[in-house]
């Protein structure tokens, strides 16, 4: 499953994935659900207005992969959020996250420039206090029984408006973790 207003759910569904998109904001789910109605290839895409904490109760070990893109930097209780996501993963399942790093440069680029100067995002979208450095996210995931496979920096090319991989994790980064398999 994926958290969104549909911006990742639709392409993943078109690639053949069975996708469930969840969001705690009813308006985003309504917008995403209405948007999918314009494309018959998205009939199998499901949306649910819920929190991951509520969703995980009925969906333990139900998913092969989870994508949380640009969500965790808005969450107050990160460990509870991450554990709820991991609870939904099958053992050996992949957890993909993208977020902003808790650095001065991320604050300048992500808030001062993107929100306040270029108006790419509404003012107040981000709170630097909620950003998380890669090593802290990795530690929390380890506490949730996951092993990190890869952490990679990423940035938005402002001309093409496409994301590209970079070496630095100082602003945005992607993390891929695997839920540890059960051992008997």
12-35 tens-digit pLDDT: 999 999 999 999 999 989 999 998
Distance CA 69, CA 67 (A): 6
Assess if CATH 3.40.50.300 describes domain 51-179: no
Tokens of 141: 């995931």
Q: Could you give the strand order of the β-sheet that contains 89-100, starting from the edge strand earlier in sequence?
A: 46-49, 20-23, 2-3, 63-69, 89-100, 172-179, 146-157, 162-166
pLDDT per residue over 168-183, tens digit each? 999 999 999 999 987 5
pLDDT, residue 128, reads 94
Q: Domain ranges in the chain? A: 51-179
pLDDT tens digits along 43-85: 999 999 999 999 999 999 999 999 999 999 999 999 999 999 9
CA gap 181, 184 in Å, rounded: 10
Helices marked H in the chain: 9-14, 26-36, 52-58, 78-88, 104-106, 134-143
Distance CA 66, CA 176 (A): 10
Task: Give tens-digit pLDDT for 120-157.
Answer: 888 988 999 999 999 999 999 999 999 999 999 999 88
Specify the pLDDT at position 2.
44
pTM of structure? 0.91
Is the CA virtual torsion 88, 56, 20, 169 positive or negative?
negative
| Token code pair at residue 103 | 């650095």
Q: Average pLDDT of the chain?
A: 92
């Amino acid at each position: 499953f994926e958290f969104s207003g549909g911006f990742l759910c639709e392409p993943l569904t078109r690639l053949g994935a069975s996708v469930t998109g969840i969001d705690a904001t009813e308006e985003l789910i309504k917008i995403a659900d209405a948007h999918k109605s314009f494309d018959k290839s998205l009939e199998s895409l499901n949306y649910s207005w819920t929190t991951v904490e509520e969703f995980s109760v009925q969906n333990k070990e139900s998913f092969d992969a989870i994508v949380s893109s640009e969500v965790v930097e808005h969450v107050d209780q990160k460990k509870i959020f991450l554990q709820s996501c991991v609870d939904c993963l099958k053992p050996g399942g992949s957890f993909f996250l993208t977020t902003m790093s808790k650095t001065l440069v991320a604050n300048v680029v992500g808030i001062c420039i993107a929100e306040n100067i270029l108006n790419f995002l509404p003012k107040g979208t981000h709170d630097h206090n909620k950003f998380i450095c890669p090593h802290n996210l990795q530690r929390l995931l380890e506490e949730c029984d996951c092993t990190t496979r890869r952490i990679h920096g990423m940035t938005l090319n402002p001309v093409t408006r496409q994301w590209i991989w970079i070496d630095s994790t100082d602003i945005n980064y992607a993390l891929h973790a695997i839920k540890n398999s059960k051992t008997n």
